[in-house]
Chain A
């Protein structure tokens, strides 16, 4: 409260003063979209300023313009009242601008200190170790400078990014969706760090689409929609609903759902699964038991990087188990742990992976050819030859069914926006009429409208008797669609919570290993 008050004071003082950073009429266009259109914004020293908007509203592009990763097509950027052209991140840093990216710019094979030294001209990794520890202590960000980045959890990596910025003594710190990688229990500590920084006089640009957080933390908020600034408000004076309406332009649609009526025989079952991934940087899965029955949606929550990827790969058949472990996995009653993806799909498995371009779809291929990827068994191949008429019809049906915005079945997958491609892939997999559907990050980077469509279709599929497993980093999403929720932590799966008993506090505890006994729980604090 104290920190907030002093920051407000600083803000008021700044009112008549020049802003630290001011954007006037900034525009940035890409070949297919105008990402920022006539954007104006000002930030004062000591202010925590939110930039609010849903996926695709242009927040990330705007931050990249400020940080010099991209150059604006038109408009002015002023730093302490002076016009500046920020041609490169190094220049931004020398002005005193630091940025914590949503997707970290850390190199996995290097140590923490080595990574940090790359952005500190004239500094050696050895020489930085002490200062990393010092800054870490001052702002509550403990980190081992000699640790290799690939061994760190996502939350720890974020700390590295923040420490890296702080070592430059920034006057303005940009944080892009910083809470998206934290368990709910980790968020207060981050906010505390941010408030301490602001009370030191540093300005914070806090990018988020989470309304609750913005109302708790920020003094002012600039709301963006479709690349434009819609309003600048004081979030403390708003409600979630008013902010949401500004952000989306209408009320947030929620999917209607009926109570589940699951069958008794499991459609997907993992028994006591142990799995060591081939990837040396991957997470080992330990002792996992999981049952999904027809007609229910089971959610897997957790902070990203705790084994979600590996679990999805083991279930989909992209990674296969050794023969001796065949019985660990059964799909539709068949024990198939050592079967490949193609064979498992024949049992009625469908899968929507988290990467769309390059995994769920071939970027350079048309939607027609991308239908063939998993739907080829449905009368599309005769004597080894492809019947393109059938394939095209299937693609057209997916496009129509899911309202995919594209130029038609001949459009290349890479020409679609992330949300539209995701709709297409989900449509394609649902079209297979699967017995089991596994969806990984169903609405990542998808705008609110498309996300609602996707969630509705997943629930409809459940009601038609499919067993659905949804893996997501967004807890809110799972709370909306799932009938039961497990939490994954360091490759272990928590007991399942039915919808009614799954509250934020309990799940938050699970996300930091609260369900694991003994040694693991004690070390869990660092996650």
Chain B
């Protein structure tokens, strides 16, 4: 029973930052922008939030500043790919490297420092339920907010004008422009949103789950996030499913360790990366599925006509 509680709790904690950042990336990709700088944005968000919490003790301010810091980096990325017509892959890598470096530099004085974990928000009644109570309903608010945002985004894409415009922009910026929408503004806002979410995800890791800062804290999660969007075939509900499956896989690795199976720790550390590769391969196999779901203009430079 203890184990099950541990598994549930560990799964949602591991999945939450992945899901939050993936939903942000989903919005950007839906509008046609492939943002490969998530790793750097999460790092920057993580360090910014950590510094705020360390100095003020205000966790929500930390979350907010973490989001804003990453959003500023996202704004730089957006300017380069939208207004300066930079190749999205190269620009994403560049801004990601920059963000990682900035996080490392800003965080230098705080290297290996810790903060007390963000206070949790037990849900009344539910949190007293056996097993699942402490497993699922005794966490910081962000843990519950993540799936709520997923539902919200699913609804936005499915039934609102905003979602429609976003999908339209991602499918054909030329057509969307022709019928009178400002493609650059739509994409800019989507990328900003993606950056904000990545920053919050980073903040969650540094102040709620790991509760420390060290260079390399994000450890490739930003890339797993990009993979999750592919995994979820650009649909919010499947991205959420993917994030929780991934969280479970991470926990499985801890479980194996805890029951004392002799496996090199490095192999266990590699499990999420291997799982990502396997997931991408299996889900990309069906080209039709990708073609039907992927935003058609994803990754393409769009130049406004006259």
Chains A and B share a contact (CB less than 8 Å): yes
Seen from chain A, the residues whose Cβ lies within 8 Å of a Cβ on chain B are: 30, 69-71, 88-90, 93, 101, 105-110, 114, 117-119, 124-125, 278-280
- Cβ-closest chain B residue relative to A120: B161
**Complex interface residues of chain B between 127 and 182 (CB less than 8 A to chain A):** 161, 164-165, 167-168, 171-172, 175-176, 178-181
* Least CB distance, A106 to chain B, in whole angstroms: 7
Find chain B residues with CB under 8 A from A71 CB.
306
* Least CB distance, B159 to chain A, in whole angstroms: 8
- Cβ-closest chain B residue relative to A114: B164
B180 touches A88 (CB 8 A): yes
B168 touches A89 (CB 8 A): no
Cβ-based interface call for B291 (8 A): yes
Cβ-based interface call for B287 (8 A): yes
Give 20 A-B pairs besides A93-B180, A107-B176, A108-B171 with Cβ atoms closer than 8 angstroms. Answer: A70-B306, A71-B306, A88-B180, A89-B178, A89-B179, A89-B180, A101-B178, A107-B168, A107-B171, A107-B172, A108-B172, A109-B171, A109-B292, A118-B161, A118-B168, A118-B179, A119-B180, A124-B161, A125-B164, A278-B287
Main secondary structure of the interface of A (DSSP, over half): loop
Chain B window 169-200, contacts with chain A (Cβ cutoff 8 Å), 1 for yes, 0 for no: 00110011011110000000000000000000
CA distance A125 to B159 in the complex (A): 9
Q: If A109-B167, A110-B164 touch, does A69 touch B291 (CB 8 Å cutoff)? A: no
Find chain A residues with CB under 8 A from B161 CB.
117-118, 124
CA distance A106 to B306 in the complex (A): 20
A-B contact pairs, 28 of them (CB 8 A): A30-B306, A70-B306, A89-B180, A101-B178, A105-B178, A107-B171, A107-B176, A108-B171, A108-B172, A109-B171, A109-B292, A110-B168, A114-B164, A117-B161, A117-B164, A118-B161, A118-B165, A118-B168, A118-B179, A118-B181, A119-B179, A119-B180, A124-B161, A125-B164, A279-B291, A280-B288, A280-B291, A280-B292
CA distance A119 to B287 in the complex (A): 32
Chain B window 264-282, contacts with chain A (Cβ cutoff 8 Å), 1 for yes, 0 for no: 0000000000000000000
Find chain A residues with CB under 8 A from B171 CB.
107-110
Counting chain A CB atoms within 10 Å of each CB, the highest count among B175, B292, B296 belongs to B175
* Least CB distance, B187 to chain A, in whole angstroms: 16
CA distance A119 to B172 in the complex (A): 15
- Cβ-closest chain B residue relative to A279: B291
* Least CB distance, A6 to chain B, in whole angstroms: 33
* Least CB distance, B199 to chain A, in whole angstroms: 30
B180 touches A110 (CB 8 A): no
CA distance A93 to B180 in the complex (A): 10
* Least CB distance, A118 to chain B, in whole angstroms: 6
A106 touches B175 (CB 8 A): yes
A107 touches B180 (CB 8 A): no
B175 touches A110 (CB 8 A): no
- Cβ-closest chain A residue relative to B177: A69
Q: If A30-B306, A114-B164, A118-B168 touch, does A107 touch B175 (CB 8 Å cutoff)? A: yes
- Cβ-closest chain B residue relative to A125: B164
- Cβ-closest chain B residue relative to A104: B175
* Least CB distance, B32 to chain A, in whole angstroms: 12
* Least CB distance, B176 to chain A, in whole angstroms: 8
